[in-house]
RNA sequence: GGAGCGAUGCCCGAGUGGACGAAGGGACCCGGCUGGAAACCGGGUAGGGCUCAAAAAGCCCUCCGGGGUUCGAAUCCCCGUCGCUCCGCCA
């Protein structure tokens, strides 16, 4: 959520910056500005009346003790009270509409974000490693997984429908090993605190991180209990300290969390239909930081490095991409994607996305910190990034480590997590 | 799922219709005392909004959240959320 004051006082700036995302928000912003004006007018009026009522009510109390007649004043105040109720009701309507609209406004891109229409405007920041040369035609991971009997697409679909899959034997073990490897790396070497949180959350959590109200179609909803399945642990972890005022000396808070992620992929019919890269349920290890505005961009850089470290240790070639304004997510001010090389698919594949949301989410969830003793609270900055997507990492391992004979030689760093197993097949 | 009880400031806790943003205690901060400290003494310590260029100041709101009754609500009524206790069920 953007600061209403910013929208009010720098309307043109806000419109222009939002416009760089590729959609026009002028009309929405104009509606917000005019509702805000209306709101302030009503407030001025109703507060005057309340002030008067407070004074007179006190006086009535005093007069009653003195045995004076107060019927006339009482009657007058009853009328004032009616007016207040009317105005308050009006104000509630205006405020709820204002809030509703404001929740649909995306975050303002950071000034360092390149302006561009779509992913063609993204900038490659750096590349790590080189795509391996194969002396045979490398296969895509879905063929490898099926041939080795470690990924079961058919039965995943039998159980739950399209875009679900199952793992078996060393496939299941590898998935689990990857999760543990990533969690250990981030807790032991990068200083994150591990948390394990609910996968089902209240609607206000989804609103807090920006999935609701705009992206309800993308998520699974348990209607009976009005709970939502998280599309990423970003939701549960970032909301962990919602409505709190944190001490500055505790910042930055750095959390890492494993979670299953659930996505309806509503707008992706027919896209990436093969393999495990676009499915309704997948595992992810997520990084979240809560920090100060002064530190947040440094923290974004180090978060990207922490995520890349996973891929470096796995010796998977990857590159870091700075997203342009048109490719930026709703809540983000600045985002780096990390893309891994998939020799079987012959393309780069997003395996992590690290964003600084500045105070956009913090404002939605009322997450603040106190810069120093006695100071006014300020909104914190929140960051999130995959560290990294587990299913896609498994796919990348299958494709990058495949051998001519169809077997997989497992990355060395995983061997302690695989009880010494060195290859599959 | 049933029954009952509860939610007050940073923490504990009083208040059950009128001067209450809220007694008292603790904690913390500042000052005094001291060679220094403890004890003691004095003072202070919530959030949001509106008016405003801003500051200052004033006003409004907030005693879990939302409605209502009333001239006036922390206090009375209704709804919701969360917590506790007992019963039932359950991995």
Query: Does the residue A107 lie in any domain?
Result: no
Whether residue A52 is found in the same domain as residue A170: no
How many CB atoms are located within 10 Å of the residue A284 CB? 25
Please write the tens of the pLDDT for every residue from A288-302: 999 999 999 999 999
Residue from A263, A319, A363, A364 carrying the catalytic annotation: A263
Whether residue A147 is found in the same domain as residue A10: no
- The predicted pLDDT at position A244 comes to 85
Cβ contacts, strand B, under 7 angstroms: A 4, 40, 43-44, 46-48, 50-51, 53-58, 60-62, 64-65, 74, 77-78, 81, 85, 88-89, 92, 245, 368, 370, 373-374, 376-377
Last residue of a domain, one of A77, A102, A127: A102
What is the pLDDT averaged over residues A268-280? 90
Please write the tens of the pLDDT for every residue from A313-372: 999 999 999 999 999 999 999 999 999 999 999 999 999 999 999 999 999 998 988 888
Domain housing A319? 119-424
Known catalytic residue: A263?
Answer: yes
Whether residue A325 is found in the same domain as residue A382: yes
Whether residue A258 is found in the same domain as residue A379: yes
Please write the tens of the pLDDT for every residue from A9-46: 999 999 999 999 999 999 999 999 999 999 999 999 99
Last residue of a domain, one of A102, A129, A151: A102
Number of domains in chain A: 2
Whether residue A236 is found in the same domain as residue A154: yes
Residue from A278, A302, A370, A407 carrying the catalytic annotation: A278
- The predicted pLDDT at position A101 comes to 92
Tell me what percent of the residues of chain A surpass a pLDDT of 90.
76
Instruction: Give the contacts of A110 (CB within 8 A, at least 6 positions apart).
Output: A297, A333, A334, A356, A358
Residue from A257, A259, A331, A353 carrying the catalytic annotation: A353
CA A367, C1' B30: Å apart? 29
The enclosing domain of A280 has a CATH number of 3.30.930.10
Instruction: Give the contacts of A13 (CB within 8 A, at least 6 positions apart).
Output: none
Whether residue A172 is found in the same domain as residue A198: yes
Whether residue A79 is found in the same domain as residue A169: no
Query: Does the residue A290 lie in any domain?
Result: yes
Whether residue A138 is found in the same domain as residue A272: yes
Whether residue A181 is found in the same domain as residue A47: no
- The predicted pLDDT at position A26 comes to 95
Query: Does the residue A197 lie in any domain?
Result: yes
Query: Does the residue A286 lie in any domain?
Result: yes
The enclosing domain of A16 has a CATH number of 1.10.287.40
Query: Does the residue A113 lie in any domain?
Result: no
Q: What value of ipTM does the predicted structure carry?
A: 0.87
- The predicted pLDDT at position A374 comes to 73
B chain positions with any atom within 7 Å of a protein CB: 18-19, 28-29, 45, 47-51, 59-61, 66-72
- The predicted pLDDT at position A31 comes to 94
Known catalytic residue: A392?
Answer: yes
Whether residue A64 is found in the same domain as residue A139: no
Query: Does the residue A251 lie in any domain?
Result: yes
Known catalytic residue: A350?
Answer: yes
Known catalytic residue: A423?
Answer: no
Whether residue A147 is found in the same domain as residue A93: no
Query: Does the residue A256 lie in any domain?
Result: yes
Last residue of a domain, one of A68, A102, A136: A102
CA A8, C1' B65: Å apart? 29
Whether residue A128 is found in the same domain as residue A187: yes
Please write the tens of the pLDDT for every residue from A123-157: 999 999 999 999 999 999 999 999 999 999 999 99
Known catalytic residue: A378?
Answer: no
């Amino acid at each position: 959520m953007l600061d209403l004051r910013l929208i009010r006082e720098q309307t043109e700036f806000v419109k222009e910056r939002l416009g760089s995302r590729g959609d026009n928000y002028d009309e929405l912003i104009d509606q917000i500005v005019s509702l805000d004006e209306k709101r302030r007018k009503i407030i001025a009026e109703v507060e005057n009346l309340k002030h008067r009522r407070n004074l007179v009510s006190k006086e009535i109390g005093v007069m009653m003790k003195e045995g004076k007649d107060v019927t006339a004043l009482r009657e007058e105040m009853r009328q004032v009270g009616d007016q207040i109720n009317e105005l308050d009701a009006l104000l509630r309507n205006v405020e709820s509409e204002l809030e509703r609209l404001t929740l649909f406004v995306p975050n303002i891109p950071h000034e360092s974000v390149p302006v561009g229409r779509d992913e063609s405007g993204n900038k490659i920041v750096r590349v790590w490693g080189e795509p391996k040369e194969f002396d045979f035609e490398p296969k895509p991971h879905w063929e490898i997984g099926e041939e080795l009997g470690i990924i079961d697409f058919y039965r995943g679909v039998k159980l739950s429908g399209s875009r679900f899959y199952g793992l078996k034997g060393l496939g299941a073990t590898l998935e689990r090993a990857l999760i543990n490897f990533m969690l250990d790396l981030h807790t032991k070497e990068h200083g994150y605190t591990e948390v394990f949180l609910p996968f089902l959350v209240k609607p206000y959590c989804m609103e807090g991180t920006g999935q609701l109200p705009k992206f309800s179609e993308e998520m699974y909803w348990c209607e009976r209990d009005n709970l939502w399945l998280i599309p990423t642990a970003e939701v549960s972890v970032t909301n962990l300290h919602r409505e709190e005022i944190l001490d500055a000396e505790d910042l930055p808070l750095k959390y890492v969390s494993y979670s299953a992620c659930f996505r309806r992929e509503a707008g992706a019919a027919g896209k990436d239909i093969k393999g495990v890269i676009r499915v309704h349920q997948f595992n992810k290890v997520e990084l979240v930081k809560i920090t100060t505005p002064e530190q947040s961009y440094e923290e974004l850089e180090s978060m990207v490095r922490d995520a890349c470290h996973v891929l470096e240790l796995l010796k998977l070639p990857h590159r870091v991409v700075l997203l342009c304004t048109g490719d930026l997510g709703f809540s983000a001010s600045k985002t780096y994607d990390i893309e891994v090389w998939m020799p079987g698919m012959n393309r780069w594949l997003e395996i992590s996305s690290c964003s600084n949301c500045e105070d956009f989410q913090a404002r939605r969830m009322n997450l603040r910190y106190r810069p120093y003793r006695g100071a006014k609270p300020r909104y914190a900055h929140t960051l999130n990034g995959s560290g990294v997507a587990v299913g896609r990492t498994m796919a990348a391992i299958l494709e990058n480590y495949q051998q001519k004979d169809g077997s997989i030689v497992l990355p060395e760093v995983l061997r302690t997590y695989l009880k010494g197993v060195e290859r599959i097949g």
